[in-house]
Amino acid sequence: MALPQILPSPSSSFTHKPHLNPSNFFLIPQFNNPQCQFSSKLLLQHRRQRNSNGIRCSASSSFPEKHHTGSPKSDDVVELPLFPLPLVLFPGAILPLQIFEFRYRIMMHTLLQTDLRFGVIYSDSATGTADVGCVGEVVKHERLVDDRFFLICKGQERFRVNKLVRSKPYLVAEVTWLEDRPSANGEDDVEGLANEVESYMKDVIRLSNRLNGKPEKEATDLRRNLFPTPFSFFVGSTFEGAPREQQALLELEDTAMRLKREKETLRNTLNYLSAASAVKDVFPSS
C-alpha cells in the first residue's frame, strides 16, 4: 500500500541530504569506516557537532559483528510511530537527528516514556512515502532549548507498512517485520559475493584517493567480521548519493540479490573512476 505523501516541514532538521554526482549515471559511495574514508568533490561530506556538552557525531555506520538473531518474527504485527524523511536508514547504521517540528517533539515525549523506537521511512515529493522502512532506536538523546531534541539513533529491524492507524499528531502505522529469505535457487554463494563486493569497494576507495591527490593506501578488512546480510546493509548505507537506489536495496528480501545489485553499482562506479583517472593522467592540469 502507498502511504500519503507526507514530508517533514522545513522546521525539521536532519543530517543527510540527497546528493548526486555530476555524471548522473554512477553512484559515488561514501564510506564511513575509519579505514576507508575518502573525500571527493563528488561526495557529500556531512558532520554535525554539538558544543553544549561536547557531543559529536557523524552519519557513520556501526554494524554488529554478528548477525542479529533476536529480531521480532516476520509475522508479528505491531503499531509503530513513523518519521518520514528524504533519506534511507539501514539496519545497524547510525543516524543523528535534531527534532524541531511540534508533532515530532510530541512523539519524542511519548517515546522517552516507552521503548525509544520509531520507524524511519523514505519520502520525497516525487515518489511519496515508501512502504518499507527501518526502525530507529534512540541510543542517546539531549533535550535542547525550546523543547527541541538532539538524537542519536541506530537502525534496527526493517518493516513493511500494512495500514495507517492515524495521522495526528504524527503518523502511526500497523507494520510487519521483514527478514531476508534464502535465495530461491539456493545456489548463490553469498559469502563469495560479499568478498567480491568488498574487493570492488577497495578498488573504488583506491581510485577515489588517487583522483583527489591522496595516498593510494590499501583499505583492509572492510567487512569487519560481518556476515553477508549485515555487510550488504553496510554497503547500501554508503550509497548516500541516491536514496531511491538505497530504498530499492532496503526493500530486497534476498541477501544474494542485494549483494549482486551492489556489486553492479560498484563495478559501474569503478569504471567511471577508471575513466576519470585515465583522463587525469593524460591531462594532469584538468
Instruction: For residue 286, name the pLDDT band (cuts at 50, 70, 90).
Output: low
Peptide bond into 169 cis (omega under 30): yes
Instruction: For residue 74, name the pLDDT band (cuts at 50, 70, 90).
Output: low
pLDDT recorded at residue 219: 74
Question: DSSP letter string over 179-248?
Answer: -PPPPSSS---HHHHHHHHHHHHHHHHHHHHHHTT---PPP--SSTT--HHHHHHHHHHT-TT-HHHHHH
pLDDT tens digits along 90-133: 999 999 999 999 999 999 999 999 889 999 999 998 889 999 99
CB-CB contact of 232 with 259 (8 Å)? yes
Name the strand (E) or helix (H) holding 111. Answer: helix 102-111
Instruction: Quote the cell numbers at residue 162.
Output: 500494512
Q: CA-based Rg of the chain, rounded to a whole angstrom?
A: 19
pLDDT tens digits along 178-235: 999 887 666 789 999 999 999 999 999 989 888 888 877 777 889 999 999 999 999 9
CA 89 to each of CA 69, 121, 138, 172, 250: distance values in angstroms, whole numbers, following the listed order: 20, 8, 13, 18, 8
What domains does the chain contain, in order, with CATH numbers?
78-177 (2.30.130.40), 190-279 (no CATH)
Lowest-confidence range among 1-10, 137-146, 257-266?
1-10
> What is the rounded average pLDDT of the residues 136-148?
92
Rounded Cα distance between 227 and 233, Å, is: 10
pLDDT tens digits along 96-108: 999 999 999 999 9
pLDDT tens digits along 3-38: 443 334 333 434 333 332 323 334 555 544 433 332
pLDDT tens digits along 231-249: 999 999 999 888 999 999 9
Q: Which amino acid is at 258?
A: R
pTM attached to this predicted model = 0.77
Tell how strand 128-143 and strand 56-58 pair up: unpaired
Q: Is the pLDDT of residue 82 over 80?
A: yes
